[in-house]
Amino acid sequence: MIKDAERLYKRALSEMKKEQWLSAIQIFKLRPDVVEKDWRFSCNLGWCYFKLDKFDTARKHMVRATRLVPENPVCKCGLGWLIS
């Protein structure tokens, strides 16, 4: 189960590197259970929505990521981009 999520995460990151935001979102959505619990999934999903100018949805995911790891600078930075 964990290996499956890790494979999906790497696939989504690959799509993000190609700026294929919708494709990456679809990959992240395959594991909503992991998105809820893993800050990396939430943060990167939020970034995808941010890049598509879907700021309310992006904020939801970034807030979740920041709550999961409150001291993480990546999450704080991402959330900061959405708030400003």
Ramachandran area for residue 53 (φ above 0: left; ψ -120 to 50: alpha; else beta): left
Burial group, residue 44, by CB count within 10 angstroms (0-12, 13-18, 19+): buried
Domains of the chain, earliest start first:
2-83 (1.25.40.10)
pLDDT tens digits along 16-74:
999 999 999 999 999 999 999 999 999 999 999 999 999 999 999 999 999 999 998 98
Claim: this prediction has a pTM higher than 0.85? yes
Cα(84)–Cα(82) distance, integer angstroms: 6
Q: Which residues of 13-28 are buried (b: 16+ CB within 10 A; e: fewer)?
A: eebbeeeebebbbebb
